[in-house]
């Protein structure tokens, strides 16, 4: 198979779909890899590094899309990239389609086979290709929140961990999953007063076993959510419904009642955000203010630490890349129901139920779409 790796073009996105190490693995399996020039600059890898690994380096993305059977990316294809996709071509990347009707329409129209990292499931449960970026984003959320809490950046002027004789900041984390647990790890390490809310008793039990009395875990009801959000200095939205739009747990009315200068970091923004006041921002302009509450809603947070993120991502995506290339996409998807769960769009059909339901498409069974 011929695999293509274009340079990412989303605002301040410095990750890359394949490292030179991954390229070498593909080449050793007998496959051809073409990468766009300078695609690895953000992770400190040169075109010569990719050539040494066996890749062909080209100067423009059009050559990558035109020549290759499978495109491997990190972020969802931008509008100009979607125009270059063709019928029967495999796209393997994060997609986050439910809150993105324009992208979904373009992918359906392309006739491509579009496999989303974020809905591939794991044999032991969970979402193994989403997990590394969730870990990064959870840790970054506390860093971003602490920075935004500084008065020059619009915040309360509160130090997250306080100092002897002065209370630390109250950090409220909505969701005890991967993002929430890694955010908790950093917030506890910085000395914050940490409160974690979740509706799943098993997740709260797991959280207690991991963190014990260093945090406060709360079963999330409407009353509990409102109380803790309104008394928080920093709120981190860490909710996820796989493949679907995030629920709007924080209402506009709640935001209006929050502390002036409080900070809200919405890690769920890739799936539309968990507040009615959320809209996606970029690393270039990461924050905005609604009712005196600082909102940080960067849709590609891990892109800010591309070296860590890219290598963590490739550790989990490489086995799936090899399966798709070694077996061909159809056989690989038929053989692995967990990889099949990542198939969101196939040959003009939406093959992921939550995306179809959210955006009003007729759902097509993924196996039927592959046969068609």
Give the integer Cα–Cα distance in Å for 241 and 244: 5
Strand partners, 266: 237
Which residues are part of the catalytic machinery? Answer: 96, 270
Those residues whose C-beta lies under 8 Å from the C-beta of residue 227, and which sit 6 or more positions away, are none
Helix (H, G, I), strand (E, B) or coil at 371: helix
Which two three-digit tokens encode residue 225? 């959510």
Q: Vertex 8, ends 370 and 313: CA angle to 5°?
A: 70
Q: Which of 159, 142, 102, 334 is nearest to 238 (CA)?
A: 142
- Report which secondary-structure segment, H or E, holds 211: helix 201-211
Parallel, antiparallel, or unpaired for β 170-174 and 234-237? Answer: parallel
Q: List CB contacts of 91: < 8 A, sequence separation 6 or more.
A: 70, 71, 73, 77, 85, 107, 112, 113, 114, 115
Helix (H, G, I), strand (E, B) or coil at 49: helix
CA–CA–CA angle 24, 26, 30 (5° rounding)? 110
């Amino acid at each position: 198979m011929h695999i293509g790796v274009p340079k990412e073009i989303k605002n301040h996105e410095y990750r890359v779909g394949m490292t030179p190490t991954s390229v070498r693995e593909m080449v050793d399996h007998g496959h051809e890899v073409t990468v766009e020039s300078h695609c690895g600059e953000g992770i400190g890898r040169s075109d010569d590094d990719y050539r040494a690994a066996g890749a062909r380096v080209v100067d423009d993305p059009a050559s990558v899309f035109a020549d290759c059977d499978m495109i491997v990316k990190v972020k969802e294809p931008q509008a100009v990239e979607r125009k270059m996709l063709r019928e029967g071509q495999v796209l393997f990347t994060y997609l986050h389609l439910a809150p993105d009707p324009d992208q979904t329409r373009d992918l359906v129209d392309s006739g491509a086979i579009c496999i989303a990292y974020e809905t591939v499931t794991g044999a032991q449960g969970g979402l193994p290709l989403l997990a590394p970026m969730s870990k990064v984003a959870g840790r970054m959320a506390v860093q971003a929140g602490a920075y935004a809490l500084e008065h020059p950046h619009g915040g309360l002027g509160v130090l997250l961990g306080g100092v002897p004789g002065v209370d630390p900041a109250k950090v409220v984390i909505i969701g005890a999953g991967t993002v929430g647990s890694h955010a908790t790890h950093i917030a506890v390490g910085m000395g914050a007063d940490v409160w974690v809310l979740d509706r799943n008793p098993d997740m709260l039990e797991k959280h207690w076993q991991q963190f014990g009395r260093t945090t406060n875990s709360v079963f999330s009801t409407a009353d509990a959510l409102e109380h803790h959000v309104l008394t928080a200095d920093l709120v981190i939205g860490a909710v996820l419904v796989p493949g679907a739009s995030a629920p709007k747990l924080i209402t506009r009315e709640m935001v209006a009642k929050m502390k002036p200068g409080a900070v809200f970091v919405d890690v769920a923004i890739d799936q539309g955000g968990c507040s009615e006041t959320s809209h996606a921002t970029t690393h270039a302009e990461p924050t905005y203010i609604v009712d005196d509450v600082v909102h940080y809603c960067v849709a590609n947070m891990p892109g800010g630490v591309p070296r860590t993120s890219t290598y963590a991502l490739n550790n989990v995506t490489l086995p799936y890349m090899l399966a798709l290339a070694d077996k061909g996409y159809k056989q690989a998807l038929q053989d692995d129901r967990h990889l099949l769960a990542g198939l969101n769009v196939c040959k003009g059909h939406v093959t992921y139920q939550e995306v179809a339901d959210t955006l009003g498409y007729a759902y097509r069974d993924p196996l039927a779409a592959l046969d068609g």
